[in-house]
Amino acid sequence: MTAEDIDPADLQRQLDEIKGAMGLAERYPGRARLWLLAGLLVGVIAVAVQVTFFLHETLSATAYVLIWGVFVVVAVLSLWVMVTRLPRNDAPGTAPSWRALFGSLGAFLVAVSSVPGEVAEQVGGLDRALLYFGLVIAVLGLALLLSGTLLSAYRVRRRDRLVFHVGGVWTLAFASMLPYVDVLRYLGVGIFGVLFALYAVVAYVYLIR
């Protein structure tokens, strides 16, 4: 075969297929660490929600807002510092936008949270809280499922995408059980936080192997 017989387009396609076997940590260095940090933050947030839910009657409004204000600032700054230190790997030109994905999910969560309207006021505080907590957890599960699907467009191998699919499935299952299992009704958000943090650690170890 001579140089004239080589099709540049076919060669590029073969190279892309070879690269497609790369893992998330190999193709996008630092993203696995970012995922670990984000997962631990979600876990800590969930545990903090559980604690403040139990203490909401003893905390003043100012203290409540201050606690959450400080936590949100720390969480955002931590993620921002982590992202700014990541190596810059250009995504494929046809890859979907992560901002569009999570922006859409955020807008969906806001919209669906307002659907119950005045009906939510007719149930007890615990059931009302479970409704909103369940919606948030379910949207997080949906985000994980969609992330696993979108990563195929970023040429991440199936083995690594499976981590996000598994996370999405168990998160959605947990959200569906939240109102019906007694222990989850009272401690579900905190339990979810612990489980999600453990899941993030296991997923990180899996992704860097």
pLDDT, mean of residues 188-201? 95
Query: What pLDDT is recorded for position 128?
Result: 77
Which residue do the tokens 């119950």 mark?
A: 116
Q: 83: which residues sit within 8 A by CB, 6+ positions away?
A: 34
pLDDT tens, position by position, 75-105: 566 656 555 555 556 667 777 777 788 888 8
Query: What pLDDT is recorded for position 76?
Result: 62
Domain spans of the chain? 19-208
Q: What is the pTM of this model?
A: 0.79
**Alpha carbon distance 135, 70 (integer Å):** 24
Dig out the tokens for 142 from the structure: 């949906």
pLDDT tens, position by position, 132-146: 888 889 999 998 999
Which residue do the tokens 């994905």 mark?
A: 101
Dig out the tokens for 160 from the structure: 């690594």
**Alpha carbon distance 169, 205 (integer Å):** 19
CA-to-CA separations, 177 to 56, 86, 138, 180, in angstroms, rounded: 24, 37, 11, 5
pLDDT, mean of residues 159-175? 95
- Res. 74 pLDDT band, cuts 50 70 90: low
CA-to-CA separations, 128 to 22, 121, 135, 176, in angstroms, rounded: 45, 8, 11, 15
**Alpha carbon distance 175, 134 (integer Å):** 5
**Alpha carbon distance 46, 53 (integer Å):** 10
CA 5 centroid distance within chain? 47
pLDDT, mean of residues 176-201? 94
Query: What pLDDT is recorded for position 103?
Result: 82
- Whether 180 has a pLDDT exceeding 60, the answer reads yes
Query: What pLDDT is recorded for position 144?
Result: 92
Percent of all residues in the chain with a pLDDT value above 70, rounded to a whole number: 68
